[in-house]
Amino acid sequence: MAVNAQLIKELREITQAGMMDCKKALEATDGNIEDAIVWLRENGLAKAAKKSDRVAAEGVALAKEDDKKVVILEVNSETDFVAQNEKFINLIDEIANVLLASNAKTLEEGLALKTNSGETIEQVLVSATATIGEKIQLRRFTLIAKEAGNTTTLYNHANKRVSVALNFKGTLDSTDAYNLAMHVAAMSPQYKSMDEIPAEFKESEFSIIKAEAKEDPKLQGKPENVLENILKGKLSKRLSEISLVDQQYVVDESFKVGQFLESKKVTLIDMVRYEVGEGIEKVVTDFASEVAAQLGN
């Protein structure tokens, strides 16, 4: 049956679905709004399922807090364009609030949490995937409980791609805490200290350094004990680049971060840094070749 613009507008306001999808839903359900909502949901789920194997490497990282906790999370989309969409940003804020009100420890537990609409986070993300037209997923999150006598801080970069949450044992001035979070955002330490770096990683790095040394003419002919000390020094330098307490503090280079923390009589308990898409293998598309292939078909 033919449907009028008013019905389409009404359905669109209720579901946030695209205009053409609303039109198709109303045509398929003889103009019945309630049936059209069900139709959109069922077809939306089918569309979302088709998108489930796509690579979502863009998105937003966000750190947020309330009186009791800090949450840091990453929600992914397929394109940066969608990541800047207001609805997408509002969705992330809603998810952050739900997580803050929970004690979820795993991604599975987080996805099962109920939102204000009564749907789970997972269901909301599926609906968003169907409505927005891209795969939307909650990739990861961490909750940090605030404790009396401790200091927590967070940092969100303006580009929404990097967020940091830190938790210190002891009282730290809010400006110092924030500056340390900015340092973590900028310098990308992978571990709080060298003690946390896995032995396997250290062994792998040392093997690489040894291989590089064989190609370095400046190290040829060095006594074995001297060479060993040089290589150990190179390893220590390389590891210090990914160990927070061993990094030069960017705000005051007269300190290493560990020395600065000692001077303030605080200890870093938790360090979480999320950068959008890190570790995800992105698919690079050659647009010209893709079009040529389609024309060939």
Q: What percent of the chain has pLDDT over 90?
A: 54
Looking at the DSSP bridge assignments, the partners of residue 267 are 169
Radius of gyration of the chain, Cα coordinates, nearest whole angstrom: 25
| 29-88: pLDDT as tens digits | 888 888 887 777 666 644 544 444 554 568 999 999 999 999 999 999 888 887 788 888
pLDDT of the residue at 91:
92
Question: Smallest Cα–Cα separation from 23: which of 47, 52, 2?
Answer: 2
pLDDT (mean) for 169-190 = 96
Name the strand (E) or helix (H) holding 81: helix 80-83
Cα 31 from chain centroid (whole Å) = 42
Q: Is the pLDDT of residue 15 over 60?
A: yes
Contact 96, 73 (CB under 8 A): yes
- What angle, 0 to 180 degrees and rounded to 10, lies between the N-to-C axes of helices 5-15 and 19-28? 110
| 112-157: pLDDT as tens digits | 999 998 999 999 998 888 777 788 899 999 999 999 999 999 999 9
Q: Is the pLDDT of residue 105 over 80?
A: yes
Q: Please, what are the domains in the chain?
A: 5-50 (1.10.8.10), 58-192+268-275 (3.30.479.20)
| 264-290: pLDDT as tens digits | 999 999 999 999 988 776 555 454 554
Phi, psi of 140 (to 5 degrees): -165, 160
Contact 123, 160 (CB under 8 A): no
The pTM score is: 0.74
Q: Give CA angle at 13 (12, 19), nearest 5°.
A: 20
Q: What gap in Å lies between CA 184 and CA 270, rounded to an integer?
A: 12
